[in-house]
A and B are shown apart, each in its own frame.
Chain A
Amino acid sequence: MKKGNTIFFKNRPCILSHAAVCGSKEKEGVLGKYADVTLQDDMYGESTYEKAECKMLSAAISLAIKKSGLGEDKIDVLLSGDLLNQIISASFAARDFKFPFLGLYSACSTMSESILLGAALVNAGYVNTAVCATGSHFASAERQYRYPLELGCTRPPQAQWTVTGAGGLVLGRAQKGIKVVNGTMGAVCDFGVTDVNNMGAAMAPAAAQTIISHFNDTETSPEDYDLILTGDLGALGSRILKDLTWEKGYDISSRHVDCGEIVYKVIESEFQGGSGAGCSATVLNSYILTKMNAGLYKRVLFAATGALLSTVSSGQGESIPCISHAVQLEV
């Protein structure tokens, strides 16, 4: 059933298990206690950062499958993507598995897009189980989108820090567990922000648009949720999001939490928090889902946001189109 931009899942697609891998900087924060694997060294025993990112993603996928108690042969499809060109981490991680792979690209909102699509496939009965996973690595993202690591340049105060980590979850039909109730597909939103260092400001309108259309389609209000979780808006983007939704008559300030804001132990004053596909993936798949299983949160709206830019587009002076997909999770 679909209303507006929201698909309602009637057949209880559930999150059977989840797993997260996080880097050495990230483990000092909230992720340290909840992630399944924490790296001592961001190279993860590989020779390049891209290989390390691929290995993290692969580890998150196989851990999630292992924790679900299903064998690899019981998995019907893998939905995954990442930030690197031609989504190499996801495709290369998929080499390790025999089941089919559908590659997605939605930048940092890949986690919510994969859950949305996976839940739709499971709900319709086309597949019995689907694995959704994504990840990112600071060093590989930095060299693709910004500068070489050793270049001595300053970070502007709006900058965010790409999270090193990967998260994955297994979706299937079950009577118990965290179910995916509905999902709101986002439209691409571009308010003309061109500053590639100010992702929060670029992505906030997309998040606001999707969250508001979710409220309209489901006839809910912010108070109906224990948590409205955005991906990587950072401190600045979160402020803007609250302002934008408040303008439309929704006060989300008491319910809103941003993964980027909570992922690091201390947000140093010059940074706005974490970013990257791995940011929402690790936080959701470790802390949030664990706490949902424990009953701390009953109803969570997970709306990760992604900036759909490339170095080519920003080099040509294009503004940054952004997207946000939301899924509603309930215990």
Chain B
Amino acid sequence: MTGRTRENLNTNYLNYVKTQDPPTKHLKNCAAAFGVGGLICCIGQFIRYMLQYAGLTGDELAGSTSVILIFLGCLLTGLGVYDRIGRYAGAGSIVPITGFANSVTSPAIEFKTEGWIYGMAAKMFTVAGAIIVFGVFSGVLVGLIYLFV
């Protein structure tokens, strides 16, 4: 029997705990997320313009922009800067593609103490693996739907 099914699931207590929760700073959090998220997108836009200037177009342009942003995300993670930005900016640094890079790099760096194969390589996608799995699966679904509809 688990704690949930037993009578000790004390609704009164849980409601009481909610009233004791320290307040979330909604305004500050949201402003930081908006500002940092927007800024990262502007950097993306800047890189895009630069690459466009260098003569890239189409898929190559879009792909190269993400590659550079991912590189920046990985580098800042390695330097130990990205987690600081993340603590301040919240979703502002999680949602952009650099956050994806961060979620791949951080376990890779963290778990290399457990070996290169079962540590670094196997645990690289502990957080980001879900994105690949659901991304590929939903992508295949969309492809099939468009094929048959």
Chain A residues in the interface with B (C-beta under 8 A): 47-48, 50, 143, 147-158, 189-193, 198, 201, 205, 236, 239-240, 243, 270, 272, 317-321
| Chain B residue with the shortest CB-CB distance to A142 | B110
Asked if B99 and A152 make an inter-chain contact with CB atoms under 8 angstroms apart, the answer reads yes
Q: Which of B6, B17, B25 has the most CB of A within 10 A?
A: B17
A–B Cβ pairs within 8 angstroms, 23 of them? A50-B113, A147-B106, A148-B106, A150-B83, A150-B105, A150-B106, A150-B110, A151-B102, A151-B103, A152-B84, A152-B87, A152-B94, A153-B83, A154-B87, A157-B24, A191-B14, A193-B13, A198-B17, A205-B13, A240-B17, A270-B22, A317-B4, A319-B3
Q: Which residues of A contact B110 (CB under 8 A)?
A: 143, 148-150
* B 69-109 to A, binary, CB cutoff 8 A, 1 in contact else 0: 00000000110101111110110011000010011011101
Q: Which of B25, B83, B84 has the most CB of A within 10 A?
A: B83
* B 1-19 to A, binary, CB cutoff 8 A, 1 in contact else 0: 0111010111101101100
Closest chain-A Cβ to B16's Cβ sits at a distance in Å of 8
Q: Please measure, in the bound complex, the distance between the C-alpha atom of A17 and the C-alpha atom of B11, giving whole angstroms.
A: 45
Closest chain-B Cβ to A197's Cβ sits at a distance in Å of 10
User: B58 interface residue, CB < 8 Å from A?
Assistant: no
Label chain A's interface by main secondary structure: loop
| Known pairs A148-B107, A148-B110, A152-B94; A191 contacts B21 (CB<8 A) | no
| Candidates A153, A192, A272, A319; contact of B94 at CB < 8 Å | A153
Asked if B13 and A153 make an inter-chain contact with CB atoms under 8 angstroms apart, the answer reads no
| Chain A residue with the shortest CB-CB distance to B17 | A201
| Known pairs A151-B127, A236-B22, A321-B3; A191 contacts B113 (CB<8 A) | no
| Chain B residue with the shortest CB-CB distance to A321 | B3
Q: Which residues of B contact A149 (CB under 8 A)?
A: 83, 106, 110
Closest chain-B Cβ to A142's Cβ sits at a distance in Å of 9
Q: Please measure, in the bound complex, the distance between the C-alpha atom of A174 and the C-alpha atom of B9, giving whole angstroms.
A: 46
Asked if A147 and B109 make an inter-chain contact with CB atoms under 8 angstroms apart, the answer reads no
Q: Which residues of A contact B14 (CB under 8 A)?
A: 191-193
Asked if B20 and A148 make an inter-chain contact with CB atoms under 8 angstroms apart, the answer reads no
| Known pairs A151-B103, A152-B102; A240 contacts B86 (CB<8 A) | no
Asked if B4 and A192 make an inter-chain contact with CB atoms under 8 angstroms apart, the answer reads yes
Q: Which residues of A contact B80 (CB under 8 A)?
A: 150
Q: Which residues of A contact B107 (CB under 8 A)?
A: 148, 151
Asked if B13 and A318 make an inter-chain contact with CB atoms under 8 angstroms apart, the answer reads no
Q: Which residues of B contact A319 (CB under 8 A)?
A: 2-4, 9
User: B23 interface residue, CB < 8 Å from A?
Assistant: yes
Asked if A150 and B127 make an inter-chain contact with CB atoms under 8 angstroms apart, the answer reads no
Q: Which of B24, B78, B80, B110 has the most CB of A within 10 A?
A: B110
Q: Which residues of A contact B127 (CB under 8 A)?
A: 147-148, 151
Q: Please measure, in the bound complex, the distance between the C-alpha atom of A149 and the C-alpha atom of B86, giving whole angstroms.
A: 12
User: B34 interface residue, CB < 8 Å from A?
Assistant: no
Q: Please measure, in the bound complex, the distance between the C-alpha atom of A147 and the C-alpha atom of B127, giving whole angstroms.
A: 9
